Structure 1
Amino acid sequence: MVVRCCEKNKFLKSHYITMIKSSILDQIKNEFNYQINSYNLESIKALSDEIVSLVSSNSVFITGIGKSGNIAQHCVSLLNCINIRSYYLNWVNTIHGDIGCLRKNDLVIIFSNSGNTGEILLNIPFIKKKDVKTILISCNRKSLLNKYCDRTIIIPFRKEIINGINLIPTNSCMSYIIFCNLLVSLLCQKTQIDINNYYDNHPKGNIGEQLKTLEDCLLEKYPIFTFSKHSQIRFLDILLEMTKFNCGCCIFLSEEKKIIGIILDGDIRRLILKEKNIVYIKKEYINTNFYYETDLKKRLIEVQKDLKYIPIIENKKIIGLCKVH
């Protein structure tokens, strides 16, 4: 009886969690669809035009308080990586000296969901004295900040996720993220930043790794053996060479120095399971249907992603071996 009761409680709890999860996802989905369908692209396009026109001689500052401030910092990071020089303006510190970084005709973009943030309302008169342009990004058409800013862009938003509090910035943050994505995408089109520029700005991390070229990943030395009619290749020698060069790939050439195949460390392990007493490598043991590239300028993001080693071939001859992971 107790067991049945516990099982029933588990079922009810699981069913309740599923219902709650479904309800939250539906709320997010409905709000997301509303926001996407309601965005005024013309206003964001006008902002992107303004940024492009002033960025060569002036600076772009983005600011906000609380969660809006966090998204402002995110937007600054996105703009910087596409060559749009921008800075996060700590609003609280503006009247404690940081206002000195502002110059005439600089652009200050203010993120404020309500448009009624007290700290911003208190400090904006001091900002305006610097003769800068101010643009408010808000979800509220009737905000108090409207009258202080040169222009306001209203971003679509209806309500936060209903979760008992209903005031936690959830769906409103989503609208700001969409705004940032749209702005950055439009600026990419206008500035025509290419993959080479982007790699210069982002040489490290996972993105930097994917933007490397095959030439960046060339090994200086790697194991190479030549199949000859007059000699055999010892299996032990292959293991020693792969260990010597710390390389999990071995290249095999014909007597004409043309590549005929490769063998990887994984291939060797599988071979040992089948041929426990192996002494010499035969041609049928090696992989002759291997993936290779011919263009050293090709980026890693453009090549097959599940490979660790890629031979570079020109006219059937090996010109290099890349270790891509």
Structure 2
Amino acid sequence: MKLEEKILAVAKDTISIEAKAIANLTNLLTPEFAQAVQYIYNSKGRVIITGIGKSAIIANKIVATLNSTGTPAVFMHAADAIHGDLGSILEDDVVICISKSGNTPEIKVLVPLIKNFKNRIIAITGNKDSFLGQQSDFVLNTYVEKEACPNNLAPTTSTTAQLVMGDALAICLLDLKGFSSRDFAKYHPGGALGKKLYLRVSDITSQNMKPQVSPTTNVRDVIVEISEKMLGVTAVLENDKIIGIVTDGDIRRMLRNNDEFIHLTAADIMSKNPKTIEQDSLAIDALEMLEKNKISQLIAEEDGKYAGVVHIHNLIREGIL
């Protein structure tokens, strides 16, 4: 077997082993999982998640997922906990302990101390009969048949299972809370993701010029307005109401179909019933409209009045597309 083929075979085997273990987690879910979710949901405190080694790394990720989906969570390293960090646990907090074996020395020292504080413990462990499993109020079973490591030593499949169980917890809590995309935006204001969730049409139109002409404006002045405002379009207004638009495409069609056009006006070449969007709409909604209708610009309105133009280039520049 060539080296390249061997590498691919090992990679596929790793993925297959982990995929099989993750699929089996559905068979390990019991009413205890639902009870744990409900207890966290009804709790007035935070979720403290602890572990050691690779489980501590997984704990950090679950903490991040919970925080970003509306469930306050804090990481506490199991080793540091018994050297002072236990003070971070408050009266109403729920503690999640993550350990594959459930029998590590740190866990055996830590669990009784937490129980002394009267906090409820949720175990995420691959051994429900372990010390951790026996001492916890709720046990989430993440048993795996074997690690993807050929020596069955390096935490691979087991940590993946822990991570997936944590995701299941977070998403169930998200669902119970009715956590919406607007809620999500509060915790993810940065980057393209944040912009998709909070950037509004008004944020874009306020940065653009506002091209407009009347129905009687002659073609020469229409072309000048489109060129000067640099959006490839102008709105046609009559009595402050939008009755049409003239785009670069309309200008090109006019030139193709008319040898003489100096006598033409905006009303002669405009497109009626243009696509519009409310100023308060999300920019991502504007993008969907542009893509659906295969156009480059949208007219923005506010209380039925012309408010400006959104160009697809604006959305590209903002990282929405």
TM score, norm. by length of structure 2 = 0.74
- Kept in 2: contact 1:223–1:250 (CA 8 A): no
- Kept in 2: contact 1:251–1:263 (CA 8 A): yes
Q: For the residues of structure 2 that align with 1:282 and 1:215, how far apart are their CA atoms?
A: 30
Letter aligned with residue 193 of structure 1:
F
* Structure 2 residue runs without a partner (length 5+): 257-261
Alignment of 1:264-283 (within 5 A): none
RMSD between aligned residues: 3.8
- With 291-300 and 73-82 compared, the bigger mean Cα shift is at 291-300
1:130 aligns to 2:117 (yes or no): yes
Q: Specify the SS of the correspondent of 1:211.
A: helix
Per the TM alignment, residue 75 of structure 1 is displaced from its structure 2 partner at its CA by 1.7
Q: Partner of 2:169 in structure 1?
A: 183
Q: Which of 166, 170, 189 matches 2:156?
A: 170
Q: Partner of 1:93 in structure 2?
A: 80
Per the TM alignment, residue 161 of structure 1 is displaced from its structure 2 partner at its CA by 1.3
With over 3 angstroms needed to count, the CA separation of the structure-2 counterparts of 1:216 and 1:154, relative to structure 1, is farther
Per the TM alignment, residue 110 of structure 1 is displaced from its structure 2 partner at its CA by 0.3
Give the % identical residues.
22
With over 3 angstroms needed to count, the CA separation of the structure-2 counterparts of 1:194 and 1:30, relative to structure 1, is closer
- Kept in 2: contact 1:213–1:297 (CA 8 A): no
Q: Partner of 1:202 in structure 2?
A: 188
1:116 aligns to 2:116 (yes or no): no
Q: Deviations over 1:270-290 (max 9, x none)?
A: 99xx9xxxxx9997xx99599
Alignment of 1:201-240 (within 5 A): 201-212=187-198, 214-220=200-206, 221-226=208-213, 229=216, 231=218, 232-233=220-221, 238-240=226-228
Per the TM alignment, residue 316 of structure 1 is displaced from its structure 2 partner at its CA by 8.4
- Kept in 1: contact 2:47–2:74 (CA 8 A): yes
Q: Specify the SS of the correspondent of 2:55.
A: helix
Q: For the residues of structure 2 that align with 1:77 and 1:287, how far apart are their CA atoms?
A: 52
Q: Partner of 1:32 in structure 2?
A: 22
Per the TM alignment, residue 46 of structure 1 is displaced from its structure 2 partner at its CA by 0.6
Per the TM alignment, residue 315 of structure 1 is displaced from its structure 2 partner at its CA by 9.7
Q: Partner of 1:319 in structure 2?
A: 307
Per the TM alignment, residue 66 of structure 1 is displaced from its structure 2 partner at its CA by 2.0
1:152 aligns to 2:129 (yes or no): no
Q: Partner of 1:260 in structure 2?
A: 244
- Kept in 2: contact 1:116–1:145 (CA 8 A): yes
Q: Deviations over 1:185-238 (max 9, x none)?
A: 221232223333332333223332111253453422414042654531375664
Per the TM alignment, residue 68 of structure 1 is displaced from its structure 2 partner at its CA by 1.3
- Kept in 1: contact 2:213–2:222 (CA 8 A): no
Per the TM alignment, residue 182 of structure 1 is displaced from its structure 2 partner at its CA by 1.6
Letter aligned with residue 60 of structure 2:
Q
Aligned residues: 296
Per the TM alignment, residue 71 of structure 1 is displaced from its structure 2 partner at its CA by 1.8
Q: Deviations over 1:238-272 (max 9, x none)?
A: 44433xxxxx55433255652533658xx8xx99x
Q: Partner of 2:259 in structure 1?
A: none
Q: Deviations over 1:125-157 (max 9, x none)?
A: 333332322221101133232343333221242
- Kept in 2: contact 1:259–1:316 (CA 8 A): no
Q: Specify the SS of the correspondent of 1:253.
A: strand
Q: Which of 48, 62, 86 matches 1:61?
A: 48
- Kept in 1: contact 2:128–2:134 (CA 8 A): no
TM score, norm. by length of structure 1 = 0.74
Q: For the residues of structure 2 that align with 1:79 and 1:140, how far apart are their CA atoms?
A: 24
- With 119-128 and 104-113 compared, the bigger mean Cα shift is at 119-128
Q: For the residues of structure 1 that align with 2:227 and 2:199, how far apart are their CA atoms?
A: 29
With over 3 angstroms needed to count, the CA separation of the structure-2 counterparts of 1:149 and 1:255, relative to structure 1, is closer
Alignment of 1:4-43 (within 5 A): 12-35=2-25, 37-43=26-32
